[in-house]
Amino acid sequence: MSRTESDAGARPNVQFRQVGKPLTRTDAPGKVTGRTPYAGDYVMPNTLHMRVLRADVASARLTRLDVSKARALKGVACVLTAADMPDRTSATDIPGQTGQKRLDTDQPILVKDRVRYFGEPLALIAAETRDIADHAAELIEFELEPIPGVYDPLEALKPGAALVYGADNIVAERKIRKGDIEAGFAEADLVIENTYKTPFQEHAFLEPEVGLAWVDENDVVNIRVSTQVIEHFRPIADAIGVPHNKVRVRGALVGGGFGGKEDLTVEVYLALLAKHTGRPVRLEYSREDSFVGHGKRHPFVLTYRTGVTNEGKITAMDVQMIADAGAYVFLSPYVVLYALVAAPGPYRVDNLNVFARAVATNNMYTSAFRGFGALQACAAYEQQMDEIAGTLGIDRLELRRRNFLKTGEPMSTGFVPPSAIWTEQCAEQAWAALGEPAPVQGPIRTGRGLACYQQSYGRLTFLHDTSEAWVGVEMDGTVVVRSGVTDIGAGQISALGQIAVEVLGVTLDNVVIYNSDSAVTPLAGTTTATRALYMTGNAAKQAAETLRARLVERAAREFGVEAGDVDMAFNEVFVIDRPEKTMPLVNLVRICAAEGIHRSELAIFRAPFGDFLDPETGQGQAHPDYAYGAHAVEVSVDVETGEVEVLKSIAAHDVGQCINPAAVEGQIQGGAQNGQGYALSEEMLYEEGRLVTPSFSEYLMPTAMDMPRVECIILESRSGVGPFGAKGIGEPAMTAVAPAIANAVADAIGVRVFEMPITPERVVRALQQRDAS
């Protein structure tokens, strides 16, 4: 791990006792011994087992749905169809948010008459056993009359295309108009234009969607569910027609999210059947259900036209982006907004036009996925940088250096990110760490690739995001943190504990974090958008600091010194440099309790509140701040089979401040894997909207055989807007990986594959085309 200490925008190092240390995460012991209950591991007596019946075509009219035989089957408690709830819909865009009003984008809970995508739910079944529920599904008779659909967003834009959404299939349109694009192109010595394509991607969290719901003694619907967002209790209540205070969502440690458990998944179905049957109900998706039951990463078509001088200075950039939104809106308007903002990447482009659209089709709907549009933009702009470097004959790193956005400079939206921008340091260190090239032989070619990125952390400022946290000290000196935050595997709650104990001077084994219960933990917002550490970390830090000030003040009186002379560490309270003046924290807590001094604190952290970007120019503040970094790889390509192997994978990120280095490295290494699969092997094949790869034997993510050891270079500018100057790493870890690999493949074989994933077939085809021309 290396650190760069001097640069504009960096803050000096401080002495931490617990932050920045690779402590064993609080959630680790339970996970490695099998003790941790996940949402699917809770059982209740008298539980019914659910099953969702789905449409087996992508575009059709439902002409008949007869559930009478299923209802009559012994052991079936309930079968629901749209006929049982004709007006019920559920929200799809940013449900659960606390700030501004959301768009009007509801989807019918069950198909009423029109099927718009493959797998759309037709009926819900609850039965005494899973076997009976499966049998009941077979007894449901339905007829679907096919309607011509549209499966390509470019086709969907054409006049006369089948209509999936509105009058023109356009779900969202965003633009940036910055500077003088014509003058910029006039200034250019060379204009380079290319079109890049990125694919669907499946989150493939190992834990499929699952939940258990019951109605309690207060007539509240309780849902124990694997989710990134417990604040879905609001749209769930709206969907089933009860007040918001009659739905309680309790999370559990989540078996992977990556954005795929950001939207509602099984919650509404569970709530409906718990209500209808009055019994506990459980729904666990099969892997196939999971493949067709939640939104995917948006495929994008991105056309970059870049004007450059002979010296490699970008003078103008025009970007056109089309994203496949699938059949329902979900988070598409915001995904294209992220892509728009990210369009020029971590580069200074003063003359910029971007036009980004999300277009409806009868494909699977698309929504949140780690990187959220900004990643697709990076896949294109970083390949474009290599194309420019190649054309101009300038070293790839040098070309980037000549264009990097620097600390204090305005980005695409005119906003000046408040933190340090260390893209250049990251790029140099990652590139240098590749070391000596691996030896090659036979039909194997090797190549190297680099990609840099800019990725936001924290939600869109117009959402007016907030997060609450409660920190208290128990009578025995142990610490309790309460936060609604969900932990999706990155160590979110352990990091909160680490922050609280740093401030309060206790050790991590003395803290318990209660999290993700919408009824009893202070609402902390979503674990999405790389916001958990930034938002909930700041809230926990604020609460802990206020509490600490109160405790220290009382201790100072006890010691007869000023509050500034008192410190807290390792469960002791003491006067700095006066070893005789010390007492265990527990004694101080007892004094406070005896005097009625409040031993806990509830804090709210507010992100910067902003407005929408200007609709004509796209100028304004979209996010609180941005993270920067780089990924470098070395690959080998077998020019006979087209097979690509990643030999070295090196990431360099400025994370602001590490809270737990082991957790940060873990995020980076997982991002490298996620991005490698996206670049090379993960392919969702659809035929007329029907997914033909709904299993892990067809949808190939990198295995232990495919992954190189991922090397992490962590830089700490301590300039971020998170706690102690932290930025975020959840999404940034993945953003630049795929273009780095694409660039390395192009470097190895001398020709670019413009469409991901870069499968052996595509490599071979590109080589044949190269040889033919």
Partner 1 sequence: MPENRTITLRINGRDEEGRFPAHRTLLEALRQLGHMEVKCGCEKGDCGACAVLVDGMAVDSCLTLAWTADGREVTTVSGLGDLDSPHPLQQAFADGGAAQCGYCIPGIIVAAKAIIDENPEPSEDDIRLGLSGNLCRCTGYTKIFEAIADAAAVMRAEGGEP
* From 3, 158, 244, 287, residue interacting with partner 1 (rule: CB under 8 A): 287
Confirm if 497 and 481 have CB atoms less than 8 A apart. Answer: yes
Q: How far apart are CA 478 and CA 481, in angstroms?
A: 10
Selected binder of partner 1 within 10, 27, 423, 725 (CB under 8 A): 27
Which residue carries 């690739």 as its tokens?
449
User: Strand pairing partners for 201?
Assistant: 297
Is 44 a binding residue for partner 1 by CB under 8 A? The answer is no
Q: Taking the complex as a whole, how short is the minimal distance between the CB of residue 131 and partner 1, in angstroms?
A: 8
Dist CA 494 CA 402 (whole Å): 40
Query: Is the bond preceding residue 757 a cis peptide, omega within 30 degrees?
Result: yes
Taking the CA atoms of residue 252, residue 257, residue 263 and residue 266 in that order, the dihedral angle to the nearest 10 degrees is: -50
Q: Min. distance of Cβ 31 from partner 1 in angstroms?
A: 3
Partner whose footprint covers residue 199, from ligand FES, partner 1, none (CB < 5 to 8 Å by kind): none
Token pair belonging to 134: 């499966």
Residue 36 CB, nearest approach to ligand FES (Å): 12
Instruction: Tell me, by CB under 8 A, how many residues bind partner 1.
Output: 60
The helix/strand/coil state of 290 is: helix
Q: Which amino acid is at 547?
A: L
| Residue 11 C-beta-side C-alpha neighbours within 13 Å | 16
- Is position 666 an interface residue for partner 1 (rule: CB under 8 A)? yes
Q: Is 30 in the site for partner 1 (CB under 8 A)?
A: yes
Distance CA 278, CA 254 (A): 27
Instruction: State the nearest-atom distance from the C-beta of 675 to ligand FES, in Å.
Output: 16
Query: Token digits for 127?
Result: 């039965």
Give the separation between CA 118 and CA 386, rounded to whole angstroms: 38
The C-alpha atoms of residue 339 and residue 332 are separated, in whole angstroms, by 10
CB of 489 vs ligand FES, minimal distance in Å:
5
Stretch near partner 1 under the rule CB under 8 A, chosen from 24-32, 263-271, 332-340, 461-469 = 24-32
DSSP letter at 136 equals H
Q: Tell me which residue of 299, 263, 261 sits closest to 91, measured CA to CA.
A: 263
Sign of CA dihedral 235, 237, 243, 244: negative
Phi, psi of 385 (to 5 degrees): -60, -40
Told to check if 33 binds partner 1 by CB under 8 A, we report: yes
729 burial type by CB count under 10 A (0-12 exposed, 13-18 middle, 19+ buried): buried
Measured from the CB atom, the residue of 362 and 674 that comes closer to partner 1 is 674
The entry of ligand FES, partner 1, none that residue 704 binds, CB within 5 to 8 Å by partner kind = partner 1
User: CA–CA separation, 564 vs 519, rounded Å?
Assistant: 38
Q: Which does 488 bind (CB under 5 to 8 A by kind): ligand FES, partner 1, none?
A: partner 1
Q: Which residues contact 744 (CB under 8 A, 6 or more apart)?
A: 447, 448, 449, 633, 634, 635
| Choice from 28, 561, 586, 647 touching partner 1 (CB under 8 A) | 28
Contacts of 481 (CB under 8 A, 6+ apart): 469, 470, 471, 493, 496, 497, 500, 511, 512, 513, 514, 540
> Could you say which of partner 1, ligand FES, none residue 507 binds, taking C-beta under 5 to 8 angstroms by partner kind?
none
| Interface segment toward partner 1; rule CB under 8 A; list 322-330, 356-364, 619-627, 671-679 | 671-679
Is 703 a binder of partner 1 (CB under 8 A)? yes
Q: Where on the chain is the footprint of ligand FES (CB under 6 A)?
A: 206, 256, 489
The residue (of 92 and 516) whose beta carbon lies closer to ligand FES is 516
For partner 1, the binding residue among 57, 375, 490, 635 (CB under 8 A) is: 490
The interface partner of residue 722, options being partner 1, ligand FES, none and the CB cut-off 5 to 8 Å by kind, is: none
Q: Any contact of residue 254 with partner 1 (CB under 8 A)?
A: yes
Nearer to partner 1, 25 or 305 (CB): 25
Q: What count of other Cβ atoms lies within 10 Å of the Cβ of residue 651?
A: 32
d(CA 19, CA 198): 38
Footprint (CB under 8 A) of partner 1, residues 385-424: none
For position 284 contacting partner 1 by CB under 8 A, the verdict is: yes
The residue among 489 and 525 lying less far from ligand FES, judged by its C-beta, is: 489
For partner 1, which residue of 117, 142, 196, 205 counts as binding (CB under 8 A)?
205
Q: Report if residue 22 touches partner 1, rule: CB under 8 A.
A: yes
Contact 208, 289 (CB under 8 A): yes
Closest to ligand FES by CB, 206 or 704: 206
Which of 38, 42 has the CB closer to ligand FES?
A: 38
What are 630's two structure tokens?
A: 């780089």
Both structure tokens of 659: 């809270």
* 768 φ, ψ (degrees, to nearest 5): -65, -45
DSSP 3-state of 624: coil
CB of 702 vs ligand FES, minimal distance in Å? 12
Q: Is 489 in the site for partner 1 (CB under 8 A)?
A: yes
Q: What is the smallest separation between the CB atom of 201 and partner 1, expressed in angstroms? A: 12
Which residue of 121, 208, 537, 732 would you call a contact of partner 1, by CB under 8 A? 208
Confirm or reject binding of residue 437 to partner 1 (CB under 8 A). Answer: no
- Of these, 7, 9, 17, 36, which contacts partner 1 (CB under 8 A)? 36
Q: Which of 2, 695, 768, 769 binds partner 1 (CB under 8 A)?
A: 695
Binding flag, residue 39, partner 1 (CB under 8 A): no
CA neighbours closer than 13 Å in the CB half-sphere of residue 58? 23
Answer for which of 13, 37, 141, 186 binds partner 1 (CB under 8 A) is 37
| Residue number closest to ligand FES, CB atom | 206
Task: Select 206 or 594, whichever has its Cβ closest to ligand FES.
Answer: 206
Map residues 45-84 to x or -, x wherever contact with partner 1 holds by CB under 8 A.
Answer: ----------------------------------------
CB-wise, 312 or 491, nearer to partner 1?
A: 491
What is the token pair recorded at 97? 């948010």
Query: Which part of the chain contacts partner 1 (CB under 8 A), choosing from 116-124, 154-162, 251-259, 741-749?
Result: 251-259
- Closer residue to ligand FES in complex, CB, 697/773: 697
34/86 with CB nearer partner 1? 34
Q: Helix axis angle, 538-559 relative to 585-594, nearest 10°?
A: 80
Minimum Å gap between C-beta 20 and partner 1 is 14
User: Rounded to whole angstroms, how far apart are CA atoms 51 and 288?
Assistant: 12
**Cα separations (Å) of 747 from 639, 719, 751?**
13, 35, 7
Q: Is 732 in the site for partner 1 (CB under 8 A)?
A: no
Rounded CA gap, 265 and 235, in Å?
Answer: 12
Burial of 406 (0-12, 13-18, 19+ CB in 10 A): middle
Of 35, 560, 580, 615, the one binding partner 1 by CB under 8 A: 35
Integer Cα distance of 496 and 729 in angstroms? 15
The nearer residue to partner 1, 705 or 772, going by C-beta atoms, is 705
Nearer CB in complex with partner 1: 168/288 = 288
Q: Where are the beta strands (DSSP E) in 621-766?
A: 625-638, 644-654, 686-687, 690-691, 710-715
- 255 part of the interface to partner 1, by CB under 8 A: yes
Paired residues of 644 in beta bridges: 637
Single out the residue of 615, 704, 772, 773 in contact with partner 1 (rule: CB under 8 A).
704
Q: What angle do CA 81, 84, 85 make, to 5 degrees?
A: 100
Which is closer to partner 1, CB of 26 or CB of 198?
A: 26
Structure tokens at 633: 């790889």
Comparing CB distances to ligand FES, the nearer of 299 and 489 is 489
Q: Does 258 bind partner 1 (CB under 8 A)?
A: yes
Contact positions vs partner 1 (CB under 8 A):
22, 24-25, 27-38, 40-41, 203-208, 253-258, 284, 286-287, 488-491, 660, 662-663, 665-674, 695-697, 701-705, 707, 709-710
